[in-house]
Amino acid sequence: MRANTWAGRNKVKVRDVPDPRILNERDAIVRITSTAICGSDLHLVDGYVPTMQDGDVMGHEFMGEVIEVGRSVDPDRLRVGDRVVVPFPIACGVCGACAAELYSCCENSNPNAGIAEKMFGHPVAGIFGYSHLTGGFAGGQAQYARVPFADVGPLKIESELTDEQVLFLSDILPTGYMGAEMCDIQSTDVVAVWGAGPVGQFAMDSARMLGAAKVIAIDKEPYRLQMAERAGHTPVNFEEVDVRSRLLELTGGRGPDKCIDAVGMESSHGSAPIHAYDRVKQAVRSETERPHALRQAIMSCRSGGIVSVIGVYGGFLDKFPAGAWMNRALTLRTGQCHVQRYMEPLLRRIERGDIDPTRVITHTLPLDQAERGFEIFKNKQDNCEKVVLKP
């Protein structure tokens, strides 16, 4: 089959690889009809996440048709012919973490738990196409994928919704939604979202859907800010204005009640010297993150507010404003999205028309043009927001 693979730092390559097969009895094989490039794929391609290998199949957002199931897959849950969206965290459904609906922390789905444990203290779930730290599972930017614990995660789509309407249930829509949900949004809340990429856009839409009074989008790309503005959110361009002053102005001096970091480790939001400092430390691997967005969110948030982190961080960061966090009674909440928890309710919301996931798609390309897709997405060329690939 054809698959988009990691080919070294800053390089992906579409190549021929063997077709996947059942390795465990609860596996299914899915013929992929739509897949997407995610912002966190860029951290892998940029080389900021360790343990990638030449030839690793990329991609953790995909959907398609089940063409084969292992012997132990519960037929009441999944059969050949089912149309499914596959969540990016691989979860067993029965361990302590899964029982608590913390699916991205599943204790049984990462064959390299030992490595992850060294990096994170405790292991995390396996994730498709997302380095060997998260299990070394082949990804979904391919014609076919093997899906472990297939009777737990994948969501059956039985209505006539298009791939484009449901594909993002695999990751970015629940991720954005969880970012807003962690904010315990009240009707009087002003919510500021750092990053107007696809996840940021869905965090904004979700904050609005959950009843926020005002939603602010912080980014530097005019087209992304316009996209947020068209959806009814207030844009702030951090290259044109001082973010903290502008946020104070927009909130009567209080600061946003809730702040969402939808940027993560490769932030470019900071002032020049601190950005340079982080880049140097990050480049030499003595700091793995460039956490400006997070620092700025903590410094800007109103006292007693919530800072919700859905941007991806991989390791260690410097100059965390612990004083602001502690002295001003801030709550910090975070997590890789527990996608399985949100798929069904969000599918209902899509069916009801509460939210329109298709609004972030700017490019649809054949799988064979994945390299170009990465190129324009990474460099924000051609007003690129979200790329869908068709195998």
Partner 1 sequence: MAQLAAPDTVRRISGVDDSPTSRAVVPLVGARELVHAAGLLTSRRKSIWAWTRVAGDAMDLASLGMAIAHRGGRRRRRLVAVTGAVVGITVVDLLTAVQATRTKAVRGSREGGFMELTATTTIRKPPPTVYAFWRDLGNLPTFMAHLEEIRTTGDRTSHWSAGAPFGKNVEWDAEIVDEAPGEKIAWRSTGNADVPNAGTVRFGPAPDGVSTEVHVVLSYDIPGGAVGKAVARYFGEEPHQQLDDDLRRLKQVLETGEVVRSEGAPWGKRARKEFPQRPAQPLSDSEFAKGAQA
Cα–Cα distances in angstroms (integers) from residue 155 to residues 73, 168, 339, 342, 386, in the given order: 14, 12, 10, 10, 22
| Of the candidate residues 8, 74, 80, 96, the single one contacting partner 1 (CB under 8 A) | 96
Which does residue 38 touch among Zn ion, partner 1, none (CB within 5 to 8 A, set by kind)?
A: Zn ion
Can you give the C-alpha Rg of the chain in angstroms?
20
For partner 1, the closer of residues 17 and 332 by Cβ is 17
Q: By CB under 8 A, what part of segment 128-167 binds partner 1?
A: 129, 132, 135-139, 146, 148-149
Cα–Cα distances in angstroms (integers) from residue 244 to residues 14, 200, 266, 301, in the given order: 43, 19, 20, 9
SS3 374: helix
**Closest to 125 in 3D by CA, of 178, 170, 88:** 88
Smallest distance from partner 1 to CB 199, Å: 24
Q: Which stretch binds partner 1 (CB under 8 A): 110-118, 200-208, 254-262, 360-368?
A: 110-118
Q: Does 10 sit near partner 1 (CB under 8 A)?
A: no
Dihedral (CA of 43, 47, 51, 52) sign: positive
Q: Does 56 sit near partner 1 (CB under 8 A)?
A: yes
Q: Does 276 sit near partner 1 (CB under 8 A)?
A: yes
Smallest distance from partner 1 to CB 88, Å: 14
Q: Residue 297 phi/psi, 5° resolution? A: -65, -45
Q: Which stretch binds partner 1 (CB under 8 A): 33-41, 45-53, 184-192, 367-375?
A: 45-53
Q: Which amino acid is at 226?
A: Q
> What is the secondary structure of 63-90 as a DSSP string?
EEEEEEE-TTS-TTT--TT-EEEE-SEE
Which does residue 51 touch among partner 1, Zn ion, none (CB within 5 to 8 A, set by kind)?
A: partner 1
Q: Does 113 sit near partner 1 (CB under 8 A)?
A: yes
* Contact (CB, 8 A) for 142 and 1: yes
Summarize as ranges the residues that interact with partner 1 (CB under 8 A): 1, 3, 5, 17-21, 23-26, 47, 50-51, 53-57, 72, 92, 94-96, 99, 107-115, 117, 126, 129, 132, 135-139, 146, 148-149, 273, 276-277, 279-281, 283-287, 316, 318-319
